[in-house]
Chain A
Amino acid sequence: MERSTYDLWVGIFVAAGLAALLVLAFKAGNLGASDIGPGYTIKANFDDVGGLKVRAPVKASGVVVGRVTEIRFDPVRYQALVTMKINDAYRFPMDTTASILTSGLLGDQYIGLDAGGDSVMLKDGDTIRLTQSAVVLEKLIGQFLFNKAGEGGKTSAGLPSTAKAGGS
């Protein structure tokens, strides 16, 4: 075969391979979707971030408006400090509430923003004051059991006396 024919077919092969890589990166991967465009960063302190991860979405009314860029432990306040980048197109009042929510019963966790009524808007580097921590299932179950035990204590308080009465 001639050399130019080889060149042609190898060119097609390499182009197909690179196209496959691009398809994988953009269609299967999140290269196109992950970037939320130009934005500003805001911070929020949480008592407990639960299973929140870096790059988790920040949603307002279910619409993705930004992403979590950093999660750190604040050694001064003993709280988690979450930094997030919000798209420039969206502005939120100063008294916005940030809560860590779960999509579905077992889904990934994300930050939900509920806008308040303040006329001053959050700027780059501001901190959200009102936050609500993640619901940790273990704590919830623990509390439930504790409450149940509390109720049980009241009813079982009468039991020993009856048992004693029965036994004697």
Chain B
Amino acid sequence: MMSKLFSPVRKLGHAIIDAVLRLGFAARFFVAVIMASGTSFRRFSLVIREIYIEGFMSLIIISVSGLFVGMVLGLQGYNTLQRFGSESALGVLVALSLLRELGPVVAALLFASRAGTAMTAEIGLMKSTEQLVAMDMMAVNPLSRVIAPKFWAGVISMPLLAAIFSAVGIFGGYLIGVRFIGVDAGTFWSQMQAQVDVRTDVLYGVYKSFVFGIVVTVIALFEGFDAPPTAEGVSRATTRTVVISSLAILVLDFVLTAFMLGGN
């Protein structure tokens, strides 16, 4: 009777202990990857190959999404601003929303679902087909040979992808706002240049995407490394990568924004 009554509470406790344990494992995994990244810099071609797969291959989805997000911002921004007669602020609106928020966040979300899932699935499969164990047997540390290059490639690619997203997005806003709707090109750019600050707006976006790059790749690699070595285990790990990294991006974005705005 008592044990039945307490079983939901026990389940809750189990879930929380499990979550804390996994968080601890992930933190130790992160430290282990950092410690094992010496090889990545001695043999930088390993990282370059991963940058090709993670960064360059994400270029098309990042540019197309950036273009459309910028175009939507141009349309929506114009529609709202012209009610207040201040459509001259369209450039500022497009640039600030892309640089501060949408660039880093949407690029990181796309990166998590485009490159993060691929990393998880690849490492999960390597684990389930015992390739990682085989490497260990051959005295090759899989952390330094497989995982650390992927980590550094993600950390390097993410800020670049976010910058490309923002730049293409601003071009999309220009395309709609200036070319299509007919806001004056001079005001569009001059207002943008007067209001966008390089240190607080452009650089804060870069910092954000740098943090997102670390978080997304660590989550993706850890989920793959920690996946049960079965077909189902790999598929669930891939799902978890998307869910956890998306949540982490959005929560961290709020925390980082609060710090950055609080600093002013």
Contact = CB atoms under 8 A, between A and B. Distances in A.
Interface in A1-32: 3, 6-7, 9-10, 12-14, 16-18, 20-21, 23-25, 27-32
Contacts of B161: 17
A126 to B, nearest CB: 28
Contact of B52 (A10, A24, A25, A31): A10
Interface in B53-99: 55-56, 59, 95, 99
Contacts of B99: 24, 28
Contact of B48 (A6, A21, A32): A6
Given A6-B48, A29-B196, A30-B193, 8 more contacts: A13-B52, A13-B59, A17-B161, A18-B160, A20-B160, A28-B202, A30-B197, A34-B198
**Main SS class of interface, B:** helix
A28 B167 CA distance: 9
A20 B166 contact: yes
A10 B56 contact: yes
A30 B198 contact: yes
A33 interface: yes
B164 interface: yes
B201 interface: yes
27 contacts: A6-B49, A7-B45, A9-B52, A9-B56, A10-B48, A10-B51, A10-B52, A10-B56, A13-B51, A13-B157, A13-B160, A16-B160, A20-B163, A21-B202, A23-B167, A24-B99, A24-B167, A27-B170, A28-B166, A28-B170, A28-B196, A29-B198, A29-B201, A29-B202, A30-B193, A30-B197, A33-B194
Nearest to B159: A17
Contacts of B59: 13, 16
A29 B163 contact: no
A23 B95 CA distance: 12
